[in-house]
């Protein structure tokens, strides 16, 4: 069975909306690779959503390369690699696999760290593996902390921030808490990180998980004087949120990421009363009835649901057109900014 089912509608969507918008070469700052044998426990969704785990049991480097070839014909995609972030995945094996794949394919990569990990081990692994920095995730916060109360420092502790600052590492951050970016604790700590640790490069994943307009709150106004924090719009299809982030921080601090393998699924996102819902073709992911973020679409309309990543890039295009961004700006968003951040020269 082929990895992806590319239909004539998908091909038309890509050619009409995306092909001429995307640069010939672009960098994807957000990719998870792992093998099924690294999953040593029961997959958990207790601190995140269940639906991403339905897309793929694993994502080998070969599958990732094939995904980009099939979805972006005529383009060269340079992925930034790191592990799957589920608690059930053995991070030692997965980090080693990422390291090997990055070396073999000459790609940038991030080291998945846990908050309890000794600093000397992190420092050694990053140096030996030639990682660009750290990927951190809320899943690894201490288990006694209720999910809705997880703070950034619970899974990205100050000692790791200080280490990243010492070396000038990249740190990619997926924030927690039900209000997402709109939670004052999140945006206060984001500002604090920039002020206390000016030498690291903070990447805020998913635009702070602001998938609905309401998820922005007062965050952008509070963060408007930041000078370095970069925003990746991975797995976000909200053109209004993209427009607002670009308005505040400009195209120099805005970068593309896919969240593969998750966003290779076919879906479109709608927001109802501040709550996002992924509409998917009926039967495409098995039984999703227990997940409130999922809705199956039947009948002829399901044939008009294309790849989620296409919806993401199309949303970026709408925001760019609304703001009148230039081709130079688009090149920054899809290539130059990440090339600078991850030290790529060609």
d(CA 2, CA 42): 27
- pLDDT above 80 for 35: yes
d(CA 149, CA 183): 11
DSSP for 282-336 reads: TTSSS--TT-TTEEEE-SGGGGG--BHHHHHHHHHHHHHHHHT--HHHHHIIIII
Residue spans of the domains in the chain: they are 8-341
pLDDT for 343: 96
Percent of the chain topping pLDDT 90: 93
- Binned at pLDDT 50, 70 and 90, residue 285 comes out as very high
Helix, strand, or coil (residue 272): strand
Mean pLDDT of the chain: 96
User: Would you put residue 335 in left (φ > 0), alpha (ψ -120 to 50) or beta?
Assistant: alpha
Q: Are 191 and 226 in contact (CB under 8 A)?
A: yes
pLDDT per residue as tens digits for the range 155-214: 999 999 999 999 999 999 999 999 999 999 999 999 999 999 999 999 999 999 999 999
pLDDT for 52: 86
d(CA 27, CA 338): 6
d(CA 346, CA 339): 8
- Binned at pLDDT 50, 70 and 90, residue 320 comes out as very high
Q: Are 297 and 282 in contact (CB under 8 A)?
A: yes
Helix, strand, or coil (residue 121): helix
Cα 338 → chain centroid: 13
pLDDT per residue as tens digits for the range 95-154: 999 999 999 999 999 999 999 999 999 999 999 999 999 999 999 999 999 999 999 999
Which CATH number is correct for 8-341, 3.90.170.10, 3.20.20.140, 3.30.450.40, 3.40.50.11060? 3.20.20.140
**Does the reported pTM lie above 0.85?**
yes
- pLDDT above 60 for 346: no
Q: Which of 33, 156, 164 is nearest to 91 (CA)?
A: 33
pLDDT for 44: 62
- pLDDT above 80 for 47: no
Q: Which of 34, 159, 163 is nearest to 88 (CA)?
A: 34
Q: Which of 247, 242, 272 is nearest to 257 (CA)?
A: 242
Residue with tokens 């963060």: 223
pLDDT for 50: 77
pLDDT per residue as tens digits for the range 9-27: 999 999 999 999 999 999 9
pLDDT for 102: 98
Give strand pairing partners of 294. 278
Sheet holding 275-281, edge to edge: 268-272, 275-281, 294-297
CA dihedral of 39, 43, 45, 51, whole degrees rounded to 10: 90
- Binned at pLDDT 50, 70 and 90, residue 345 comes out as confident
Helix, strand, or coil (residue 100): helix
User: Would you put residue 74 in left (φ > 0), alpha (ψ -120 to 50) or beta?
Assistant: left
- pLDDT above 90 for 238: yes
Q: Are 43 and 86 in contact (CB under 8 A)?
A: yes
Cα 1 → chain centroid: 27
- pLDDT above 60 for 333: yes
pLDDT for 41: 78
Q: Are 42 and 88 in contact (CB under 8 A)?
A: yes
Helix, strand, or coil (residue 59): strand
47 against 232, higher pLDDT: 232
d(CA 154, CA 160): 11
């Amino acid at each position: 069975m082929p990895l992806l089912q590319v239909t004539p509608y998908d091909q038309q969507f890509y050619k009409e909306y995306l092909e001429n918008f995307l640069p010939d070469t672009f960098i994807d700052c957000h990719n998870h690779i792992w093998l099924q044998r690294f999953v040593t426990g029961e997959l958990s969704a207790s601190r995140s959503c269940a639906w991403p785990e339905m897309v793929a049991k694993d994502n080998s480097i070969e599958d990732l390369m094939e995904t980009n070839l099939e979805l972006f014909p005529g383009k060269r995609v340079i992925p930034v690699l790191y592990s799957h972030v589920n608690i059930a995945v053995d991070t030692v094996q997965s980090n080693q696999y990422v390291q090997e794949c990055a070396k073999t394919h000459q790609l940038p990569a991030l080291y998945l760290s846990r908050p309890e990990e000794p600093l000397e081990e992190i420092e050694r692994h990053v140096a030996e593996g030639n990682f660009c920095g750290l990927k951190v995730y809320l899943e690894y916060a201490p288990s006694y902390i209720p999910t809705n109360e997880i703070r950034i420092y619970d899974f990205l502790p100050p000692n790791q921030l200080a280490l990243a600052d010492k070396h000038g590492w990249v740190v990619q951050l997926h924030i927690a808490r039900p209000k997402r970016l709109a939670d004052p604790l999140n945006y206060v700590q984001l500002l604090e990180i920039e002020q206390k640790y000016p030498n690291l490069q903070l990447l805020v994943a998913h635009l702070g998980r602001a998938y609905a307009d309401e998820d922005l709150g007062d965050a952008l106004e509070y963060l408007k004087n930041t000078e370095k924090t970069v925003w990746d719009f991975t797995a976000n299809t909200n053109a209004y949120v993209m427009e607002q982030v670009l308005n505040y921080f400009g195209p120099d601090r805005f970068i593309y990421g896919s969240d593969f393998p998750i966003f290779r699924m076919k879906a479109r996102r709608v927001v109802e009363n501040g709550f996002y819902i992924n509409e998917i073709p009926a039967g495409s992911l098995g039984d999703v009835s227990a997940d409130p973020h999922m809705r199956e679409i039947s009948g002829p309309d399901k044939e008009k649901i294309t790849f989620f990543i296409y919806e993401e890039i199309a949303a970026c295009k709408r925001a760019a057109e609304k703001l009148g961004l230039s081709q130079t700006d688009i090149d920054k968003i899809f290539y130059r900014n990440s090339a600078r951040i991850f030290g790529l020269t060609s």
